[in-house]
Homo-oligomer: A and B are copies of this chain.
């Protein structure tokens, strides 16, 4: 239990809350305030064939598997300023076009500044970031796509993690195993779960 209290510590806490309540009545730090706050995760993607969309859905499932996580799933072109700024974590997925993220996804990042004005205040600072990618062939750009999504996030002073793979979750959609297979979808779920967990670790409690 990373941020919780030891069992014994918690017993003490309950006890002293009771004592406090008896003693002071109001102004109490309620039990609810000590509960972990809901983490909000935005999953944004571009997809033409539907493969990246299906990966995105699996990422959502993984994130939701952590109790209390709120997840928003959107195409990159539909993300609003509020989606961006209200999220604790952002997971971005792209198909590989010529060894890199697609123009749509890159333009989405550019709009972080042109539309949403994240700089110079670094408004995305300390949000968790992660990436996923789909591509036709092995070793034809999925790594570069994920790493350069992470590079864009690092430039925004975000806190970056992998999950479901060394750089994020990825799927090879042509060749021996066309489309998405079970392992690839499981990796996408693992990424979503991983990001939700790290975001929960960093999420300030409501009383702060």
Contacts and interface: CB of A to CB of B under 8 A. Distances in A.
Interface of A: 1-6, 8-9, 12-13, 15-17, 19-20, 23-24, 27-29, 33, 97-103, 106-110, 112-113, 126, 133, 137-144, 146-148, 150-152, 154-157, 159-163, 165-167, 170, 172, 176-177, 198, 201-202, 204-205, 207-208
Given A103-B103, A154-B167, A141 B143 contact: yes
Given A3-B205, A19-B19, A144-B147, A103 B106 contact: yes
B148 A208 contact: no
Contacts of A108: 103
A114 to B, nearest CB: 9
Contacts of A97: 106, 109-110, 113
List of 8 A-B pairs having minimum Cβ-Cβ separation, nearest first: A16-B16, A103-B107, A143-B143, A140-B166, A99-B151, A98-B152, A155-B166, A106-B106
A100 B143 CA distance: 12
Contact of A29 (B6, B112, B163): B6
Contacts of A170: 138-139
B2 A29 contact: no
A141 B155 contact: yes
A199 to B, nearest CB: 11
Contact of A16 (B1, B20, B159): B20
Contacts of A8: 27, 29
B141 A166 contact: yes
B154 A160 contact: yes
Contact of A159 (B5, B101, B198): B198
Nearest to A201: B202
B162 A154 contact: yes
Contacts of A147: 144, 147, 151
